[in-house]
Amino acid sequence: MESEAKTGILVSPAMAESNNGNWHTAHRWANFLSNHCDIALLPHWPSPSLQRTPQAMVALHAPRSAASIRAWAETWPGKPLIVVLTGTDLYRDIHADAEAQQSLALATHLVVLQDAGLAELPETFRAKTRVIYQSAPALKPADKSSRRFGALMVGHLRDEKDPLTFMRAATRDFDAGIHFAQIGMALEPRFADAARATEQHTARYHWLGGLSRAATRRRIKRAHVLVNCSLMEGGAHVILEAVQSGTPVLASRISGNIGMLGETYAGYFSPGDDAQLAALVRRCAAEQDFLALLQSQCNARAGLFSPQEEKRLVINLLASALGGLESLRDRPSLSFSPLKAF
């Protein structure tokens, strides 16, 4: 190997079996970096699988990766330690959790996934923070059905995603032809019970459970609107997937969603307000001009979510941490595995 500066580890508290946002971010970043350095994608560090001394760590989620972050700082003080704040850590944990706060202090660099996230950080940490929007490949927009109007929510059923607001909205009065579909595994039995009960009593609502990423993107592409009801988000990947698929978004007005869609976006509703959500769905179904406005506003944000831009920013981040772009010259494509040893 040309230099030790071309080795790194990426710690993700979620691996492939989780099929969640942390895993997809980690996997995508590892792929970005694999042409420029040896990269090992691990659930924690230290790891007995590693045979070469790494030069930098990228760790996702401040409290869930806290043990790895602390071990790295103790073992390699001064070596680059990049902590990526992905959601609940930014909007909840860093305000009350001692391990999350320690992770912020130990990091040499911090990353948030949309620009509104900067305001959540203590001012003393903002100078070492970068904004890197996540990405998804752009898809050719689908021809939407003219006979039925589909509202789709995507995300595992858990408190932070507020899936019950979507279910309650589906039970309100709508014209014939409006349908609600929900994708995601229930992480608690009560959410599965609620989804089944809603499905049983409301013909327009269907819970599809967990689907593959490819199947989910096809559903997003065919939907008329993508709904995000979350109470907290670091930078919802499903929002940018909708934008990159030609599907407008209806979203709860929370910081993480505003950071993705902009302060003046016309498709917000108050968190937990199923009546407002239902009214927006009705308006989208009835008013083509309003739906076109949302589409235009989403299109204006699409440049933020390009894979080329995310890749450039991720590579520049690690190169800067290691001392310059010369430490990460392009090289032939390398494969990596979740437990690749250097």
d(CA 122, CA 112): 13
pLDDT at 36: 85
Q: Give the pLDDT score at 324.
A: 60
Q: Tokens 């579909």 belong to which residue?
A: 181
Q: What is the structure's pLDDT at 336?
A: 47
Inter-residue contact 103 to 69 (CB < 8 Å): yes
Fold: same for 4-135+306-328 and 149-303? yes
C-alpha 113/C-alpha 18 separation (Å) is 20
pLDDT at 2: 44
Question: What architecture (CATH level 2) is domain 149-303?
Answer: 3-Layer(aba) Sandwich (3.40)
pLDDT for the residue 52: 83
Mean pLDDT of the chain: 92
pLDDT tens digit sequence for 41-70: 999 999 888 878 899 999 999 999 999 999
Nearest of 270, 234, 227, 218 to residue 250 by alpha carbon: 227
Each domain of the chain, given as residue ranges in start order, spans 4-135+306-328, 149-303
**The amino acid at 37:** C
Query: Quick one: residue 78, left, alpha or beta (phi over 0 = left, psi -120 to 50 = alpha)?
Result: left
Q: Which two tokens stand for residue 68?
A: 């790895």
The reported pLDDT for the residue numbered 327 is 52
Radius of gyration of the chain (CA): 21
Per the DSSP assignment, residues forming a β-bridge with 251 are 228, 268
List CB contacts of 71: < 8 A, sequence separation 6 or more. 45, 46
pLDDT digits (tens, 9 = 90+) for 91-126: 999 999 999 999 999 999 999 999 999 999 999 999
- Ranges of residues in the chain with a pLDDT under 50 are 1-5, 325, 331-342
Residue 21: the pLDDT is 77
Return the CATH number of the domain spanning residue range 4-135+306-328.
3.40.50.2000
